[in-house]
Amino acid sequence: MTIETARPAIDLTRYHFVRELGDVRLYGTWLYDAELDDDEPCLVLVPAHRTYGVVPCCVALSAAFRYDDPAHLAAVSLEFARALGFDGNVMTAAHKIGSIIHDHLLDLIKMPENPTEAIVGATANVDFGDGRKRTVEIMDHVPVDQA
Protein backbone atom coordinates (compact mmCIF):
# COMPACT_ATOMS: atom_id res chain seq x y z
CA MET A 1 0.00 0.00 0.00
CA THR A 2 1.38 3.40 -0.94
CA ILE A 3 0.90 6.62 0.97
CA GLU A 4 -1.55 7.74 -1.73
CA THR A 5 -3.83 4.76 -1.11
CA ALA A 6 -3.35 4.47 2.66
CA ARG A 7 -6.40 4.88 4.86
CA PRO A 8 -6.23 6.35 8.35
CA ALA A 9 -6.76 3.89 11.18
CA ILE A 10 -9.47 6.17 12.61
CA ASP A 11 -11.53 8.56 10.48
CA LEU A 12 -13.70 10.74 12.73
CA THR A 13 -15.62 12.15 9.75
CA ARG A 14 -17.28 8.71 9.54
CA TYR A 15 -19.23 7.57 12.55
CA HIS A 16 -22.32 5.72 13.66
CA PHE A 17 -22.86 8.07 16.59
CA VAL A 18 -21.16 10.97 18.35
CA ARG A 19 -21.95 12.17 21.86
CA GLU A 20 -20.81 15.23 23.81
CA LEU A 21 -20.30 14.12 27.41
CA GLY A 22 -19.05 17.22 29.19
CA ASP A 23 -15.40 17.71 28.28
CA VAL A 24 -15.20 14.36 26.42
CA ARG A 25 -16.51 13.65 22.92
CA LEU A 26 -17.32 9.99 22.24
CA TYR A 27 -17.47 8.55 18.74
CA GLY A 28 -18.86 5.20 17.70
CA THR A 29 -16.79 4.64 14.57
CA TRP A 30 -14.62 1.99 12.91
CA LEU A 31 -10.97 1.09 13.38
CA TYR A 32 -9.16 0.16 10.17
CA ASP A 33 -6.53 -2.59 10.26
CA ALA A 34 -4.30 -2.20 7.19
CA GLU A 35 -2.73 -5.65 7.58
CA LEU A 36 -6.12 -7.36 7.47
CA ASP A 37 -7.68 -4.69 5.21
CA ASP A 38 -10.71 -4.80 7.48
CA ASP A 39 -12.65 -2.56 9.84
CA GLU A 40 -14.09 -3.22 13.27
CA PRO A 41 -16.41 -1.11 15.39
CA CYS A 42 -14.77 0.94 18.13
CA LEU A 43 -15.35 3.70 20.66
CA VAL A 44 -13.06 6.71 20.32
CA LEU A 45 -12.69 9.31 23.05
CA VAL A 46 -11.24 12.76 22.38
CA PRO A 47 -11.34 16.05 24.32
CA ALA A 48 -14.47 17.97 23.40
CA HIS A 49 -12.88 21.41 23.35
CA ARG A 50 -9.41 20.81 21.86
CA THR A 51 -8.97 20.07 18.18
CA TYR A 52 -5.18 19.96 17.76
CA GLY A 53 -2.55 17.97 19.59
CA VAL A 54 -5.23 15.41 20.39
CA VAL A 55 -4.41 11.76 21.09
CA PRO A 56 -7.58 9.77 20.38
CA CYS A 57 -8.19 6.86 22.76
CA CYS A 58 -9.81 3.79 21.27
CA VAL A 59 -11.71 0.76 22.57
CA ALA A 60 -12.03 -1.82 19.78
CA LEU A 61 -14.89 -4.31 19.66
CA SER A 62 -12.40 -7.20 19.71
CA ALA A 63 -11.15 -5.98 23.13
CA ALA A 64 -14.52 -4.97 24.60
CA PHE A 65 -14.71 -8.03 26.86
CA ARG A 66 -11.62 -6.80 28.76
CA TYR A 67 -13.47 -3.68 29.91
CA ASP A 68 -15.84 -5.81 31.99
CA ASP A 69 -12.91 -6.37 34.38
CA PRO A 70 -12.89 -3.44 36.88
CA ALA A 71 -9.10 -3.57 37.33
CA HIS A 72 -8.49 -3.37 33.57
CA LEU A 73 -11.09 -0.63 33.14
CA ALA A 74 -9.51 1.43 35.94
CA ALA A 75 -5.97 1.05 34.60
CA VAL A 76 -6.90 1.92 31.03
CA SER A 77 -9.11 4.81 32.12
CA LEU A 78 -6.20 6.34 34.01
CA GLU A 79 -3.97 6.04 30.93
CA PHE A 80 -6.71 7.50 28.72
CA ALA A 81 -7.17 10.46 31.12
CA ARG A 82 -3.46 11.25 30.86
CA ALA A 83 -3.39 10.80 27.07
CA LEU A 84 -6.42 13.08 26.67
CA GLY A 85 -4.63 15.80 28.63
CA PHE A 86 -6.69 15.85 31.82
CA ASP A 87 -3.80 16.91 34.03
CA GLY A 88 -5.76 18.68 36.79
CA ASN A 89 -7.49 15.95 38.74
CA VAL A 90 -6.51 12.81 36.82
CA MET A 91 -8.36 10.45 39.16
CA THR A 92 -11.67 12.28 38.69
CA ALA A 93 -11.15 12.32 34.91
CA ALA A 94 -10.24 8.62 34.94
CA HIS A 95 -13.42 7.80 36.85
CA LYS A 96 -15.49 9.76 34.32
CA ILE A 97 -13.75 8.08 31.37
CA GLY A 98 -14.23 4.65 32.92
CA SER A 99 -17.94 5.38 33.37
CA ILE A 100 -18.25 6.57 29.75
CA ILE A 101 -16.57 3.41 28.42
CA HIS A 102 -18.59 1.08 30.66
CA ASP A 103 -21.87 2.85 29.87
CA HIS A 104 -21.30 2.60 26.11
CA LEU A 105 -20.05 -0.99 25.71
CA LEU A 106 -23.51 -2.17 24.65
CA ASP A 107 -23.64 0.62 22.04
CA LEU A 108 -20.28 -0.65 20.74
CA ILE A 109 -21.52 -4.24 20.57
CA LYS A 110 -24.66 -3.18 18.69
CA MET A 111 -22.81 -1.09 16.09
CA PRO A 112 -23.19 -2.15 12.46
CA GLU A 113 -20.33 -2.99 10.14
CA ASN A 114 -18.64 -0.07 8.44
CA PRO A 115 -21.03 1.09 5.69
CA THR A 116 -19.57 0.54 2.23
CA GLU A 117 -20.84 0.49 -1.30
CA ALA A 118 -19.89 -2.00 -3.95
CA ILE A 119 -18.27 -0.64 -7.09
CA VAL A 120 -17.07 -2.51 -10.16
CA GLY A 121 -13.29 -2.63 -9.94
CA ALA A 122 -12.76 -4.60 -13.14
CA THR A 123 -14.52 -6.70 -15.74
CA ALA A 124 -13.06 -9.97 -17.01
CA ASN A 125 -13.97 -12.31 -19.85
CA VAL A 126 -13.50 -15.95 -18.85
CA ASP A 127 -13.10 -18.68 -21.47
CA PHE A 128 -13.51 -22.15 -19.91
CA GLY A 129 -11.99 -23.90 -22.95
CA ASP A 130 -15.03 -26.11 -23.57
CA GLY A 131 -17.00 -23.47 -25.45
CA ARG A 132 -18.40 -21.81 -22.38
CA LYS A 133 -17.62 -18.13 -21.92
CA ARG A 134 -18.60 -15.80 -19.16
CA THR A 135 -18.11 -12.14 -18.36
CA VAL A 136 -17.62 -11.41 -14.67
CA GLU A 137 -17.32 -8.23 -12.63
CA ILE A 138 -14.77 -7.94 -9.86
CA MET A 139 -16.28 -5.89 -7.08
CA ASP A 140 -14.56 -3.61 -4.60
CA HIS A 141 -16.12 -2.16 -1.47
CA VAL A 142 -15.37 1.48 -0.69
CA PRO A 143 -16.48 3.48 2.36
CA VAL A 144 -19.63 5.54 1.97
CA ASP A 145 -18.99 9.27 2.42
CA GLN A 146 -20.72 10.52 5.56
CA ALA A 147 -19.40 14.01 6.23
| Span 84-89, average pLDDT | 84
d(CA 59, CA 147): 22
Residue-wise pLDDT for 18-32, tens only, equals: 999 999 999 999 999
Q: Up-side HSE of residue 41: CA atoms within 13 Å toward CB?
A: 16
Residue 106's pLDDT band, with cuts at 50, 70 and 90, is very high
Which pLDDT score, from 0 to 100, does residue 51 have?
72
CB 27 within 8 A of CB 100: no
DSSP for 126-140 reads: EE-SSS-EEEEEEEE
Which residue ranges make up each domain of the chain? 17-110
Which pLDDT score, from 0 to 100, does residue 37 have?
81
